Amino acid sequence: MFAANNLAAHTMYRYYGRSLPVMNFTTDALRWLNNNQSAADSANFMASVKFEGIDLDLTSPGTPWIYYGGSYAGARAAHMRVLYPELTFGAIASSAVTHAATVWWEYHEVIRRSAPPDCSLQIEHTIAFVDRILALPPLKKPLKRLFGLEDLEHDDDFASVLESAFGGWQARNWDPAVSSTRFEDFCAALAGNGDGGDDDDDDENYFTSGVTTTTTVGPFELPAAALNYAKYIRRRVAKSCPEGYSVEECFGTYDDSKYTDVSVAATWRLWLWQVCDQWAYFFVSPPDPNQRRIISHHITLDYARKICKQAYKPGTHYTLPEWPKVDEVNSLGDFTLEADRLAFIDGTADPWMPATPHSWYAPNRTDTTNQPFKWIQGTFSA
């Protein structure tokens, strides 16, 4: 019995790994990078593979294959049981995003709900403060200066940099040997228990232009966590901008020329293509203005999806749809996808959980021997 793991899910089909059938990553060249084509590549691999040094016929269906994957590859594992049940004897779908969605604010909502309550509240208060200050043009630049981003022109780019502090959440794992403590470090920094890195800057000198206190900015009281958040971004993120590059060059997203590289070395174009063509998952602020949030309301759908038009110009044979074709993914079962010998395993603190069959939008189902449905409390990814 053989398992196709998460890595194999990326090397068993075209465009990823060494399976490169194109000379560049233009729009026309990427038009075959989609869910059905990728599943067909996996099926072809399972039905025809030959292992060097092994004379036995280990292909499917003569040999039972179990397909395993996590996250995007978890969805592929589940889809293989639907599309190729004769080849995929069983599948283990971990954090399987069987639901594709255009507006995707739930990712950060899981973090908000699952993070230590004090940390979540500190983030919420800071973001609320930032949004209030960004509404006052005279105070925008002093605010950005506090975060080390004074020359970042666009407010949504600034808000996006602040969002980057949550990148460590998805890197958490049950195994300390491979887990990341970046999010814990961030929370410690917000509470004043971490230094965030080397920095000789004096916080008290950051708000100038008539603002002479670090307790208030204009008519607003400055949350203590905001200074610590600013220090973290200044030291851990802003300082990562290489010498000789401006803040705008490092963190700005409005220069279309940044996205013109279509060489096969530009591997960032691959998953982004799948996002723009089918899967979406545009991270945005909650659409309900009364919803508690840990990312700025400046992170809008228009901002999140503009890179699709910037990076993928219309080709001769294919043009990206105006909106990702999420129905092509969801038609395979969406939240209710199920099959015999298909196991779904998810964690309650996984930010991708709302896109899985364990989502709070999904109907309840029973965990059975033939259709395992495992819900692991407090885990970050299954």
Instruction: For residue 304, count other CB atoms closer than 10 A to its CB.
Output: 21
Question: What Cα–Cα distance (Å) separates residue 298 from each residue in 23, 275, 277?
Answer: 38, 21, 24
CA 130 from centroid of its chain's CA atoms: 23
pLDDT of residue 224: 84
Sequence ranges of the domains in the chain: 2-100+327-376, 103-254
pLDDT given for residue 175 in this prediction: 82
How far is it, in rounded angstroms, from Cα 200 to Cα 234?
11
Any idea which of 92-101, 214-223, 323-332 has the lowest mean pLDDT? 214-223
Q: What is the pLDDT of residue 382?
A: 52
Q: Is the pLDDT of residue 326 over 70?
A: yes
Q: In this predicted structure, what is the pLDDT of residue 381? A: 65
List active site positions.
Answer: 71, 350
d(CA 343, CA 353): 15
Q: How confident is the prediction for the chain on average, in pLDDT?
A: 90
Token pair, residue 14, equals 């075209």
Of the listed ranges 41-45, 71-75, 199-203, 309-313, the least confidently predicted one is 199-203
Residue 208's pLDDT is 30
Predicted pLDDT at 79: 98
Tell me: pLDDT of 185 over 80. yes
What's the pLDDT tens digit per position in 91-116?
Answer: 999 999 999 999 999 999 999 999 99
Selection from 305, 239, 241 nearest residue 103 by Cα: 305
Q: What is the CATH number of domain 2-100+327-376?
A: 3.40.50.1820
- Extract the runs of DSSP E, i.e. beta strands, from the chain: 2-4, 65-70, 90-94, 101-104, 216-217, 220-221, 280-283, 342-347, 373-376
Does the global pTM surpass 0.85? yes
